[in-house]
Amino acid sequence: MAPTFGTGPVEAELRSTLQDELEAILQKRIMVLDGGMGTMIQQHKLEEDDFRGEEFKDHPKFLKGNNDLLSITQSDIIFKIHKEFLLAGADIVETNTFSGTRVAQADYGLEHLAYRLNKVSAELARKAADDVGVQTGIRRFVGGAMGPTNKTLSVSPSVERPDYRNITFEELVEAYEEQARGLLDGGIDILLVETIFDTANAKAALFAIQQLFAEQYEPRPIFISGTIVDKSGRTLSGQTGEAFVTSVSHAEPLSIGLNCALGAVEMRPFIEAIGKCTTAYVLCYPNAGLPNAFGGYDETPEVTAKHLKEFAMDGLVNIVGGCCGTTPAHIRAIAEAVQKCRPRIPPPSVFGDFLTLSGLEPFRIGPYTNFVNIGERCNVAGSRNFAKLIMAGNYEEALNVAKSQVKMGAQILDINMDDGMLDGKNAMTRFCNLVATEPDIAKVPLCIDSSNFAVIEAGLKCCQGKCIVNSISLKEGEEDFLQKARIIKRFGAAVVIMAFDEKGQATEIEDKVEICTRAYGLLVSKVKFNPNDIIFDPNILTIGTGMEEHNLYAENFMKATSIIKRTLPGARISGGLSNLSFSFRGMEAIREALHGVFLYHSIKAGMDMGIVNAGKLPVYDDIDKELLDMCENLIWNKDLLATDKLLQYAQNHATGGKKVIHTDEWRDNPVEERLVYALMKGVEKYVVQDTAEARANQEKYPRPLHIIEGPLMNGMKVVGELFGAGKMFLPQVVKSARVMKKAVGYLIPFMEKDREERLAQSDNSEEISPYQGTIVLATVKGDVHDIGKNIVGVVLGCNNFRVIDLGVMTPCDKILRAAIENKADIIGLSGLITPSLDEMIYVAKEMERLGMKMPLLIGGATTSKTHTAVKIAPRYSAPAIHVLDASKSVVVCSQLLDNDLKDDYFEEVTEEYEEIRQDYYEYLMDRKYLTLEQARKRGFQIDWLSHPKPVKPTLIGTQSFPDYDLKRLMSYIDWKPFFDVWQLKGKYPNRGYPKIFKDKTVGEEAKKVFQDAQNLLNTLIEEKRLTARGIIGFWPAQSVGDDIYLFAEDTFPHTGEPVAKFHGLRQQADKDTNSTEKYCCISDFIAPSDSVVPDYIGVFAVACFGAGLLSKQYEEDGDDYNSIMVKALADRLAEAFAEEMHARVRKEFWGYSPDESLGATDMHRIKYAGIRPAPGYPSQPDHSEKITMWKLASIEENTGIMLTESLAMTPAAAVSGLYFSSPQSMYFAVGKITQEQVEDYAARKQMRKEDIEKWLGPILGYDTD
């Protein structure tokens, strides 16, 4: 038996339990924990043989580094370290079992040794503690160390499979249970679950401990210590310190705190935060500062002790010690420093009246918390869309449903996988695992919802936060109810109790109250459930069914709610709202109104939360008065005909009962509201009149600038918010910008006059900019495409940013000079063609060389987040961020210019881009390629002897079209890309034109912008404001390997030198071994020179001229909308020209498909024979092939279509390419290629390899740096 020691008159009193004994000490003084076991072991410089000892000398795996094994093989060393820490002043010594689970020991092949390791280690520590206790006369305690293992329940080890986990909750519980048994059998006093980087792992450890205490062992005090990994204040798995405490407090730890990762200075704010949210004693054992460049620790004992003394003096801690880098000298200094400091006094209660929950962040529901929305759409039983996605295995898309719910205001997320055709356990596990990987979703607590308790358990095992279980009931009797309740408590979850008992579902007030009261008593008295963790659902049942017995269901729920809240302290009320209106399914306006009215009254009665569709709840006061009265009558059973009247109302109101405002009714509102309305709706008609009226109110708006800063900016803010929320679309935003410009244009003369007057009165009258920030936008050098950039500019302008648009073909020095001269806050670069990517890299390098610090935004069709992360961001130390589209630009810019957000945002992006880079380079290393010879052998082979004989074109040479009839092109226009320009994207099945007009979300706006386009297009054609020019040409051709030779004379076989050569690139990336796909090159579609088959190839270039000048004129007139519109239409006309000309080539000029009768839709779907690939696109990614085309056909001389130095075509509305006639020819993507092929390609083109790498940068399968 271990000896008993005294620590003073009071402490010498016998304690009934270890918990009492420790609490008595902790109330008197600050206790001291030991230091870094690993640090001390390292000082012994042990080698492989030392770790093995005699017993493990023949073990097949390396054992060096397995510190826990030293308790067996070098027990004297471990015992000595324990004694050194104890003699230095430690009250508590930890066992040498940080990696003592079978999970961690599996790395060494010693998983079978786990129990023995823990028991032996505990016995060593026990002996050391008892020996020092005898020696000093002061009782010492042993803490059984239970580390986090080397696996995690919350994070997938697979990038490709975010739902995958390499360990299960059950496996961790089993491993921790084995470890705890060894520690308990070895004689520890305390179980210390420490260095928690994933709270889910810790919950498994606590589950195992509580299970042992319930079944086999007398309870021991529990200490819990988390690890905050950096200054973000979060664990590695993403939880804040407060959320972490909430998640583990169900284990009722005697002490809770933090250790490792940080030094004391960095740890302080997080220790303070933990102390504010727990009634437990606070534990703190930091590292000896932050590690140096070599992984060592330099903080001296005196410095560490000084910091911890400050903690103690400020009343923050009850137990202190050291982690990595701390030695007995540190512990001695710490013990001496805190010896006379008063311990922190734990509060008797924190959040005493609150239901505390957590996801990645804490969430508390208290007496004055507003109604809590539990998102309902992640329910296979309640959402057809979600069910369809889950049934199809499309979990990633289903995750977007969850994300949308949180975005729309859900504070808790309900997840239900109850369906007879679904494996509920697996579905729940997979979806919860995916949720854990999405911080935007995982930040909120989950409500694990199922009528199958096994499914509930599956969900709980995946969640590191404190969840709600929905639900259990008394329907299977008390024993079943209590068993489930105990399991839920062991998981640390709150619970919803349905008002069911052995007799069934309660419908009357008295029955609801009786069942809930009975359940409350069982939970509180027998399970010791915290009353604040109890939530009752007194059953929201369907009304308006036509059955008289259902008429009081709504009223009964509300009255029962009031009684339960009054008589059962701490309990909350919840319910599933959709049940109420089930009679009116299909009548969404009626259902939403009923929900709004019911909630309005139920919240007053005491309802705290509900499972609702957060985005579909109307405001009570916004419900149409007639509809509101009918809903009130139905809910309160005031009118027996209420249901019939609601049905009649639905039939009579096509708009669903929502008030329709007549066209000019808004004109009766105050001028400020009229201006906001005009901006929001894009109404120009009255804006100057209203702005003038506001200016006339000199008392309210003494300066014209105040009108901009006031009502106009308020309107723009609404526009920005609606756009950001997806409630406005791009054409509306552009029109809003036009209204804004008109109002500002009217005010400018008055503002100038005001400015001059103020300058005359004072030398110090410089205006403070009314803008959020200044942004310089430019399409980079060599690129002429700017539609997307212009839209971004308009959207940013709408959101109160000052935009300096430098246009297209902008050299780097001009961009940087403009940014400096205009004191820009951000630079935005745009580009459509791949050479633009290199120019963007160059700009980033120059910004870094010049020491610039402003953020750099990257956008455009050819850009990507991966390219930005891998190629641009590493060249620039300030933020370099990819922006996907115009809708994202506002959010990104706002975050970068917000002093409270920018640092965190940049840090988040930096971490994300680092992960992308790592994935990219891993991908490069893992990607397999065929050699060029292998790829050529497996190329696309055509049997030219059985292949239809290639048709000879009607002309050899070129034919120009100097003024093509634009009216011929109208029917060939593909309108889908036009809507993409405006970011109007219908959802399936209404994606393409003209189906988009039927889309509920964007259909109406698509109709408007389409009509505007038609009107403008007709005007432009009638007034001949645009001109179409083009050229086609045909030459005899033969393939030679991966190249195509063209000849001037149509004689066969060809004997002279070729007049031109087109060079092809061949697919090399290894395809699925089971695949029969060939490795294509464009030369495969031309008959080879060694065949007896003559063949031909065509060249074309077409363009629409005049759009650039027109766009500029519209812009100068302040008409951004039509400035963008004319360019978009010119692009469509150029593509239509290419489509129509290709059709004529097939039927007339080449004539290989003379009987073709395809409509435009079939052409857009490429149902014709032959192809027309363009250089710079996937089938031939090299833009430099255009040079050959331009020389061969004298394209610039014949059409005026020019190439920039980056080989972009100008005008921008231009299309060029090659014609192939083979019916077997097809489009393909070359994909990544190897250095071997680049060298071969460079030799064939007689160019330097470095120059080829520049043009082929995006498809290189290797890094050139």
Catalytic annotation, residues: 783, 785, 836
Whether the CB-CB separation of 927 and 1232 falls below 8 Å is answered with yes
**Strand pairing category for 1209-1210 and 1202-1203:** antiparallel
Transcribe 214-249 into DSSP letters. Answer: HHTS----EEEEE---STT-B-TTS-BHHHHHHHHG
* Number of continuous H segments (helices) and E segments (strands) in the chain: 45, 33
Whether the CB-CB separation of 858 and 873 falls below 8 Å is answered with no
> What's the rounded Cα separation, in Å, for the pair 992 and 1204?
33
Residue 1029: closest CA among 1201, 1181, 818:
1201
3-state DSSP assignment of residue 477: coil
Q: What are the angstrom distances between the C-alpha of 298 and each of 231, 290, 291, 329, 405?
A: 20, 8, 7, 13, 48
| Cβ atoms within 10 Å of 936's Cβ, excluding its own | 17
> Which H helix or E strand runs over 195?
strand 190-196
> What's the rounded Cα separation, in Å, for the pair 442 and 455?
19
Where does 568-643 show beta strands of DSSP type E? 572-573, 609-612
| Cβ atoms within 10 Å of 202's Cβ, excluding its own | 29
**Strand pairing category for 1027-1040 and 957-964:** antiparallel
Whether the CB-CB separation of 1185 and 1063 falls below 8 Å is answered with yes
> Amino acid identity of 139?
R
> What's the rounded Cα separation, in Å, for the pair 172 and 737?
58
- From the number of C-beta atoms within 10 Å of its C-beta (0-12, 13-18, 19+), residue 1084 rates as buried
| Cβ atoms within 10 Å of 417's Cβ, excluding its own | 29
3-state DSSP assignment of residue 1030: strand
Residue 193: closest CA among 150, 225, 228:
225
Transcribe 1071-1090 into DSSP letters. Answer: PPTT-------GGGGS-BTT
Strand order in the sheet with 319-320: 31-32, 319-320, 281-287, 255-263, 222-226, 190-196, 141-146, 92-94
For residues 207, 211, 214 and 218, what is the CA-based torsion angle, rounded to 10 degrees? -90
List alpha helices for 806-857, DSSP H.
812-821, 835-849
> Amino acid identity of 206?
L
Give the residue carrying structure tokens 């640090």: 39
Whether the CB-CB separation of 1061 and 1044 falls below 8 Å is answered with yes
Strand order in the sheet with 534-537: 572-573, 534-537, 494-498, 468-472, 446-449, 412-416, 372-379, 609-612
Reading the block at residue 132, the tokens are: 């020092």
Reading the block at residue 216, the tokens are: 């086999």
| Cβ atoms within 10 Å of 728's Cβ, excluding its own | 22
> Which H helix or E strand runs over 1192?
helix 1185-1193
> What's the rounded Cα separation, in Å, for the pair 780 and 787?
13
Whether the CB-CB separation of 1218 and 1225 falls below 8 Å is answered with no
